[in-house]
Amino acid sequence: MVYMEISLTSLEQAIQTLEQQLDHETELDPQKLNTKYLGKRGLFNELSKQIKDISPKDRKQAGKLLNALKNSLQTKLGNLQLHKAEDWVDLTFPGTLPPQGHLHPVSQAIEEISEIFKKIGFTRARYPEVDWDYYAFGSLNMPPDHPARDEWETFFVDLPADKKMGKIVLTPHTSNGQVREMERLKGKPPIRMINIARCYRRQQDVTHTQMFHQFEGLVVDQGINIQHLKGTLDYFAKEFYGPGTKSRIRPFHFQFTEPSFEVDFSCHLCHGTGLIGGEKCSFCKSGWHEVGGAGMVHPNVLKAGGIDPNKYTGFAFGWGVERTYTLKEGLNIDDIRLLYSEEMRFFEQF
Amino acid sequence: MNILIPHHWLLEQLKTEAVPEKIQEYLSLSGPSIERVYEHGRERVYDIEITTNRVDSMSVRGVAREAAVILKQFDIPAKLVKNSLSFAQIKPTSKQLLPLPKITDKTKLCSRMSGVILQNVQRQPTPKWMADRLQLIEANVHDAAIDITNYVTHEQGHPIHAFDYDRIMQLGGEIIITLAKKGEKFTTLDGENYVATGGEVVYKNPAGKIIDLPAIKGTSNSAVSANTKNILLWIESIDPTKIRFASMTHAIRTVAAQLAEKGIDPHLAEPTMVKAVQLYQELCNAQIASEVYDAFPNQKIPPTITLDLHKIHAYLGLVLPTKKIIDILSALECQVKITRETLRIIPPTFRRDLNIPVDIIEEIARIYGYHQLPSKLMATSIPLSQQTDTNFQAENIAKHYLSNIGWQEVYTYSLISEELAKKSNWSVASHAKLINPLTDDKTYLRRSLIPSLLQVIETNSHLPELSVFELAHVYHPQNHGLPKEVLHLSLASNKSFPKVKGDLISLLKKFHISNVTVKPNLNEDAGFIKVDDIRIGQLKVIDKITIIEIIFTQLLPLMKTHPHYQPLPKTASVIEQLTFTLPTKTFIGPIITDISELSPKIKTVLLKGVYQQNYTLTIEYWDPQKNLTNENVRPLRKRIVKVIEKTYQAKLVGKLE
């Protein structure tokens, strides 16, 4: 070994090591432990001998440290004897928690949604959150200035427009991924995609934030029909909200689907009846929760993606992650702005 | 768009015994969604959402027509009341006929223009029955002469306008339909002043003055006023895109404009006007003082849509009897012809939304009932091609790991204020900016997550310890095209620096990434984080808060799903400690690296502790071939001491053997 002066730091570390060693002893006999640590040739005495290797200026400090160690060892060993004598552990003693962080509820929801769709063969994709007007609207059968665009409350970005692609927008929905996914696969189905992304709309109240998340499903292949959309929705409803949850589709209108549907999930509290013990269900009010839109992909959208609408059909759906998540039984979040707040007392609950 | 319809008003157009609850349930399943039914006194009022493509349903009669078809599907008797309102019923009743103004359409954008003059219109209060209904639909009540137009629009579905006939004649007796020029001024009937941007369809008099903003709002110089005695009742059908352009440009979003911009069937002009004339006669004792003027130059003939039966079955996934299909389409007032397996369908004029085969499939499917279709998962093949530039699994692992070791995940807004933009390493001007932000604090697209995370820590400064992270995109504007979206994993914590750095190292270890170094910048508590020679991000300490910004996409190619297994050592290593006194502000990182790289026999070098300027390193020597002896280690030790003392002006504490 090297002969050298022992620094105070080394001594401190040796002290710490010794204390830890005692804490982790498996030997139960207090007497034996006492000899091992505090006996004449015990570990403490061995360590104390090193004081002669410590530089003279630090010796006083070293002495203090060793004294403190001796006291600590005596106390610990004394306690052991006490416990041994009464054979007693205070089981009501509060546990020491490790540091605990939390996954954001939106991450939890996204992960759960992704897993559910993965099981039935969907591939997760990611497409731009700042995209061309063409992908957000134009290729989705919504020419410029179409009245249907009003519903999207779109943010425009102050960057140069492109002759073909149009302006740059913050995607107001995840449907910009539809034609992009078709292009990625060079117009060759099968497509079974789930696209989850941040979206933006010019609105803000208890149920809307300027930024939110959507998940978009897109399935294109030969022989895809409305029954498959219903099957997928029912499957998701059961997986996400629990057994017995049903879905239903009702007529609606979107430019990029035909037919278009509004999707409802049955309330898991009243099971779609709107009544609990003869009283109106206070959670859903009508038996059903409206979650979002769906439809059979419009032939013009398939064409925009280079897919022959005479050969292939498909369905798509797109809903808000926050809305879908907050409908979970007993979750009880009544203001979704909390999700994007800086309120740690909120996040710590997840 | 939503429309309010009182139940008894609906029953004037629809014969049925169905109760409001059933009407709500069944219409919502197969037609327009009735969002709620509420009670108002003795009346029930439906609040109905009409989609933008179904402007034909934006009236009491339009909803009644849908209800008649849908209720029958649910075996509830229902019949649309026959509408016998036709221009033939309008015959002059006045002894003294008045001349119609001259009509000139310079735009050729009008498909139909209709008008009639009503004389001696008595100004009467709106009768209670009408006022009640207008209140139920949340419309304002004025007097009968004005309210009749709103009432018939709601009932029949076509906007109708009442001009002051005498003022039109005084203005020159001519309505010239033309496009406004930029800078021309007009004042709407509520006294608001506007300046044309050019291209709006307007009515002008011979002197070139704007005398109406048709299908949107009347102007104050021609509309009915308190002194009006004679009315020119007027309906026009103008190119919907022109209406939308003018309505959006001037933000005049009247009911009329919202209907007209969606393309109303011009055939509705007839029942709407006839019903209005009847009410003027009945409520205002008006006399008809002209023949009906009706120019219908651009009759749009509905398309013939060809649809193969197999296509219907392909969408529905089942075969419907052909008779059922034809019954449904006929009930919707389509003309249907069938030859072999092909349907030829001519939709009614009011269904301008029906143009291509899938439009017809939607009609068949919804009336048959989506609820009647089975539900099953697809049995088609599963795609195998995945995006290559993302790794969602790695993102999840990182997020889970960090939250499990005490970090709180946050989602902050990608849209930031100027103040936050300033706090990033990028100039405010280099950020992409929104053209139409909703609020000042969300105007720029962020280029760094750090300012947002620091704000979270600052907001929570009452917490003794807080560590937050976020995985999100930043947006870097490019010279051409879309901003570049880069996925960042950013962390901020007020824990001690070594703890934060340790968390980072252990996170990277999770992905089997080692050789992580930080290269400090001069004169700054900041530096780049490198893996081997690849820069993966940066690290900084500001006011005792450690911030880390990792470019997640840079990390992806470095990640491994599993380690490269090293055979377990068969020989023992020698471990010892060396303590060096270092000059102040000496970086310890390079010293550790230098020692590690001195010899392959030096297996690990760890910092054991620091006391003042004394740094104690634990060094492990190891040779896979043989057990090292003190003799073997001595020359290595000498070299270490020599190199470190020389390179770093260091001094070994103690002396070498």
3-state secondary structure of B188: strand
Q: Residue B91: count other Cβ atoms within 10 Å of its Cβ.
A: 9
For residue A297, pLDDT beyond 50? yes
Question: Which residues from chain A sit within 8 angstroms of residue B378, using beta carbons?
Answer: 219, 221, 224, 228, 231-232
Contacts with A336 (C-beta within 8 Å, 6 or more apart), sequence order: A206, A207, A208, A209, A212, A322, A323, A326
Chain B residue nearest residue A191, CA to CA: B383
Binding-face residues of A in 171-190 toward B, CB within 8 A: 184-185, 189-190
Nearest to A228 among B377, B414, B473 (CB): B377
Nearest to A120 among B377, B482, B656 (CB): B377
Question: Which residues from chain A sit within 8 angstroms of residue B652, using beta carbons?
Answer: 4
For residue A81, pLDDT beyond 70? no
Higher pLDDT, A53 or A134: A134
Query: From CA B468, how far away is CA B399, in angstroms rounded?
Result: 11
User: Could B482 and A1 be called an inter-chain contact, meaning their C-beta atoms sit closer than 8 Å?
Assistant: no
Distance from CA of B376 to the nearest CA of A (A): 4
Binding-face residues of A in 24-83 toward B, CB within 8 A: none
Q: Does B618 touch chain A (CB under 8 A)?
A: no
User: Which of B305, B377, B500, B616 is the best residue to mutate to test the A interface, defined by the most A CB atoms within 10 Å of its own CB?
Assistant: B377
Nearest to B611 among A8, A102, A347 (CB): A8
The reported pLDDT for the residue numbered A86 is: 60
User: Could B411 and A8 be called an inter-chain contact, meaning their C-beta atoms sit closer than 8 Å?
Assistant: no
Of B652, B547, B548, B550, the C-alpha closest to B595 is: B652
Rounded to 5 degrees, φ, ψ at B14 are: -135, 120
The residue-averaged pLDDT of A128-147 equals 92
The kind and range of the H/E element at A27 are none
Name the token pair of B82. Answer: 């026959």
Domains along chain B with CATH numbers: 2-80 (3.30.56.10), 88-295 (3.50.40.10), 305-371 (3.30.56.10), 392-558 (3.30.930.10), 574-652 (3.30.70.380)
Name the token pair of B90. Answer: 């309008």
Hey, what amino acid is at B561?
T
Question: Which residues from chain B sit within 8 angstroms of residue A204, using beta carbons?
Answer: 438-439
Number of H helices, E strands in chain A: 11, 11
The reported pLDDT for the residue numbered B361 is: 98
The reported pLDDT for the residue numbered A82 is: 59
Q: Does A120 touch chain B (CB under 8 A)?
A: yes
Do residues B103 and B295 make contact, with C-beta atoms less than 8 angstroms apart? yes
Domains along chain A with CATH numbers: 106-347 (3.30.930.10)
Query: From CA B229, how far away is CA A120, in angstroms rounded?
Result: 71
User: Could A227 and B317 be called an inter-chain contact, meaning their C-beta atoms sit closer than 8 Å?
Assistant: yes
> Beta A247-254 vs A279-280: how paired, if at all?
unpaired
Query: From CA A107, how far away is CA B410, in angstroms rounded?
Result: 9
State percent of chain B over pLDDT 90.
Answer: 93
Q: How far is CA A64 from CA A19, A59, A228, B616, in A?
A: 16, 9, 78, 21
The reported pLDDT for the residue numbered A5 is: 61
Question: Which residues from chain A sit within 8 angstroms of residue B578, using beta carbons?
Answer: 2
User: Could B460 and A342 be called an inter-chain contact, meaning their C-beta atoms sit closer than 8 Å?
Assistant: yes
User: Which of B25, B370, B388 is the best residue to mutate to test the A interface, defined by the most A CB atoms within 10 Å of its own CB?
Assistant: B370
Binding-face residues of A in 128-157 toward B, CB within 8 A: 128-132, 145, 147-148, 150-151, 155-157
Question: Which residues from chain A sit within 8 angstroms of residue B387, using beta carbons?
Answer: 123, 125-126, 184
For residue A301, pLDDT beyond 90? yes
Question: Which residues from chain B sit within 8 angstroms of residue A107, using beta carbons?
Answer: 399, 409, 411
Q: Does B434 touch chain A (CB under 8 A)?
A: yes
Q: 0.90 cut: is pTM over it? A: no
Do residues B457 and B468 make contact, with C-beta atoms less than 8 angstroms apart? yes
For B389-423, write each residue's pLDDT tens digit.
Answer: 999 999 999 999 999 999 999 999 999 999 999 99
The reported pLDDT for the residue numbered A247 is: 93
For B120-230, list the strands marked E by DSSP: 161-164, 174-179, 185-187, 193-195, 201-204, 210-212
For B179-231, write each residue's pLDDT tens digit.
Answer: 999 999 999 999 999 999 999 999 999 999 999 999 999 999 999 999 999 99
For residue B657, pLDDT beyond 70? no
Count chain A–chain B contacts defined by CB atoms under 8 A. Answer: 275
Higher pLDDT, B628 or A1: B628
For residue A284, pLDDT beyond 80? no
- The ipTM (two decimal places) reads 0.90
Higher pLDDT, B103 or A7: B103
User: Which of B375, B428, B607 is the best residue to mutate to test the A interface, defined by the most A CB atoms within 10 Å of its own CB?
Assistant: B375
Question: Which residues from chain A sit within 8 angstroms of residue B409, using beta carbons?
Answer: 101-104, 107, 347
For residue A3, pLDDT beyond 50? no
- pLDDT category at A2 given cuts 50, 70, 90 is very low
Contacts with A350 (C-beta within 8 Å, 6 or more apart), sequence order: A102, A103, A104, A105, A108
Binding-face residues of A in 216-245 toward B, CB within 8 A: 219, 221-228, 230-235
Name the token pair of B540. Answer: 């900084």
Q: Residue B334: count other Cβ atoms within 10 Å of its Cβ.
A: 20
The residue-averaged pLDDT of A135-163 equals 89
The reported pLDDT for the residue numbered A53 is: 79
For residue B175, pLDDT beyond 50? yes
Distance from CA of B587 to the nearest CA of A (A): 19
For B20-120, list the strands marked E by DSSP: 33-40, 43-49, 78-80, 102-105, 110-119
Nearest to A185 among B385, B482, B656 (CB): B385
The residue written with tokens 């068969």 in the block is B570
User: Could A157 and B456 be called an inter-chain contact, meaning their C-beta atoms sit closer than 8 Å?
Assistant: no
Query: From CA A201, how far away is CA A204, in angstroms rounded?
Result: 8
The reported pLDDT for the residue numbered A28 is: 67
For residue A321, pLDDT beyond 80? yes
For residue A185, pLDDT beyond 80? yes
Alpha-helical regions (H) of B233-300: 240-249, 255-260, 269-284
For B515-569, write each residue's pLDDT tens digit.
Answer: 899 988 876 788 999 999 899 999 999 999 999 999 999 999 999 999 999 889 8
Do residues A140 and A301 make contact, with C-beta atoms less than 8 angstroms apart? yes
For A191-242, write each residue's pLDDT tens digit.
Answer: 999 999 999 999 988 888 999 999 999 999 999 999 999 999 999 999 999 9
The residue written with tokens 């269900």 in the block is A281
The residue-averaged pLDDT of B299-309 equals 95
User: Could A156 and B435 be called an inter-chain contact, meaning their C-beta atoms sit closer than 8 Å?
Assistant: yes
**What is the residue-averaged pLDDT of chain B?**
95
User: Could B358 and A111 be called an inter-chain contact, meaning their C-beta atoms sit closer than 8 Å?
Assistant: no
For residue B12, pLDDT beyond 90? yes
Chain B residue nearest residue A250, CA to CA: B29
- pLDDT category at B128 given cuts 50, 70, 90 is very high
- pLDDT category at A1 given cuts 50, 70, 90 is very low
For B503-601, list the strands marked E by DSSP: 516-520, 526-531, 534-542, 545-551, 574-581
Binding-face residues of A in 189-218 toward B, CB within 8 A: 189-193, 198, 200, 202-204, 210-211
